[in-house]
Amino acid sequence: MNNNDKISPAVIRRLPKYYRYLGELTKMGLNKTSSRELSEMTGFSASQIRQDLNNFGGFGQQGFGYDVENLRNEIARILGLDKKYKIIIIGAGNIGQAIANYTGFYEADYEVVALFDKNPKLIGMSMRNALIKDIDELEEFLNVENIDIAVICTPKSVSQQVAEQLVQCGIRAIWNFAPKDLKMPDYVHVENVHLNESLFSLTYYYNQMNKKKSE
């Protein structure tokens, strides 16, 4: 197996899709699949899929294909999905509440243990089993609880400050939904999620299709 630090980020971003479709095959009761079948499901070429998986050892046999359960378990291990993770959410507004209620967290082993906000009308409420706490309790909470991932759903104006506070308290993985790219040290991994960028890309392709129809 190659050194995972040298794996292209593009490969890593394709692995969750393979994992998801293998889960669908499992639910269908299928035991075997091939790169060609995965290609039809994912939209990636069969050769691309084989190249991606070969970065981690391949997992298939010529003439047999892939054992669905085994491949899904191996991808889960590569992604770290064979472990449990504790999550906190900073910002309990619409996006924060939607994330806290996302069933996909609980199907994989992610647990939202608390949300934090400054709105007194929200403090004390629960999202599933996670209590919304006062943001002023954040530092004390992190000194006691072992949290793996923090989700930022705050306004843009305070997102960087919140992120720096999280890092000072030991957080090393941040999922950022605030409309601002965070500037963090190299030892902190940040995934910036900008919903409007995805929507703008969709709008572009929608308009391209309309132009072709009108030609």
* pLDDT tens digit sequence for 139-163: 999 999 999 999 999 999 999 999 9
- Chain centroid to Cα 106, Å, comes to 13
Tens digits of residue pLDDT in 4-57: 567 899 999 999 999 999 999 999 999 999 999 999 999 999 999 999 999 998
Cα separation, 198 vs 103, in Å, equals 22
What SS3 class is residue 19?
helix
Query: Is 91 within any annotated ligand binding site?
Result: yes
Q: Select the highest-mean-pLDDT range: 2-6, 56-60, 133-137.
A: 133-137
Query: Is 98 within any annotated ligand binding site?
Result: no
Q: What's the rounded mean pLDDT across residues 101-110?
A: 86
Q: Which residue has the higher pLDDT, 69 or 61?
A: 69
| Residue whose pair of structure tokens reads 């075997």 in the numeric block | 32
Query: Is 96 within any annotated ligand binding site?
Result: yes
Query: Is 94 within any annotated ligand binding site?
Result: yes
Res. 2 pLDDT band, cuts 50 70 90:
very low
> Which residues have CB under 8 Å from 139's CB, separation 6+?
165, 169
Structure tokens at 48: 């691309």
Cα separation, 22 vs 18, in Å, equals 6
162 DSSP 8-state letter: H
Query: Is 43 within any annotated ligand binding site?
Result: no
Look at residue 104 and tell me whether its pLDDT is greater than 90: no
Q: Is 112 exposed, middle or buried (0-12, 13-18, 19+ CB in 10 A)?
A: buried
pLDDT of res. 1 = 41
Query: Is 87 within any annotated ligand binding site?
Result: no
| Residue whose pair of structure tokens reads 């608390």 in the numeric block | 114
Dihedral sign from CA coordinates of 44, 45, 51, 54: positive
Domains and CATH numbers, the chain: 4-79 (1.10.10.10), 85-196 (3.40.50.720)
